[in-house]
Amino acid sequence: MPHFDLAALAMLVAVAETGGFTAASQRLGRTQSAVSVRIQDLENQLGHRLLERSRRGVTPTAAGERLIGHARRLLAIEREALADLAGDAASGRLRIGIPDDYMDAYLRPLIARFAAENPKVELELHCDLSRRIEPALAAGEFDLAVVTQDPDRPVGEVLRREPMVWVAGRGHRPELQETLPLALFSEGCRARPRILSALRAAGREHRLVFSCSHTSGMLSAVEAGFCVTALTESAVPPSLRRLGGQEGLPALPDLAVGLILGPRPGLAARRFADALREEMAGARLAA
């Protein structure tokens, strides 16, 4: 029975996270050719092509995506075993910045499990807009952040691409109004200009009737029935119904959800990042 080469798996993960062999080799402290040969050997061993190479960079194949999810879990177990033998338990405060619409979708499933596995770590969560989280992390206010990437200046590792969908309250039809009543997150939200641009490009008349900086306020307004909004697919609750082209609403672009670690991440931050990658990989496979 063949066994995985953990060093090769680490190389595969690094290439996927950095988008290329050059950046991965710099991260790992290995030559580019050594990384390329090791991954090619892994492909030959498994009988699957794991990476697609093109002028735009390197992206995982479908088989590569599946293996990367397993690889992250195997590498996390290896690190945990080494830390355990060394008596190196994660401890201290872990400060995380995240937009509140991602909180329920991504962090809620992790918090109890991470706390149970790392009882000496104090979790401190701060919800804010991505454009404010990024400079705060750079200034040392956070150890780790999950953000909506700026499409013009993306920062961090892409965890997933999240579709946006139109929604309205059940039992209400605000989308039938000639001028679409619209609720949006406050100015500074990275999705807001893209939503407005899609409406303008489609020639759909609209007016802003509600603006809020928190998901709970946005959901309350839409559930009340006097407006529609666009949310990330993972954030849509059962109390809302989805809208689309049949209601005369334009398709919306995906958002890139990014993971950013501080310049000197501690053990707790690295372990949480691994757990988050594992959670997101599992969500992709389930989808």
pLDDT computed for residue 76 by the predictor: 76
Alpha-carbon span 121 to 118, nearest angstrom? 6
Please say whether the structural domain 90-160+256-286 has been given the CATH code 3.40.50.300: no
* Token pair in block for residue 188: 């500074």
CATH 1.20.1070.10 is the classification of domain 6-84: no
CA angle 176, 179, 184 (to 5 degrees): 95
90-160+256-286 and 164-253 share one CATH topology? yes
User: What is the pLDDT, as a whole number, of residue 285?
Assistant: 40
| pLDDT recorded at residue 287 | 47
56-92 in b/e form (b: 16+ CB < 10 A) is eebebeeebebbbbebbbebbeeeeeeeeeeeeebee
CB distance 188 to 131 below 8 Å: yes
* Nearest Cα residue to 230 out of 188, 185, 151, 167: 167
Domain boundaries, the chain: 6-84, 90-160+256-286, 164-253
Which of the residues in the chain have pLDDT under 50?
Answer: 285-287
Amino acid present at 97: G
pLDDT the model gives residue 87:
66
pTM exceeding 0.95: no
Residue 264: predicted pLDDT: 82
Nearest-5° angle of CA 237, CA 239, CA 245?
80
- Architecture per CATH, domain 164-253, reads as 3-Layer(aba) Sandwich (3.40)
pLDDT of residue 142: 95
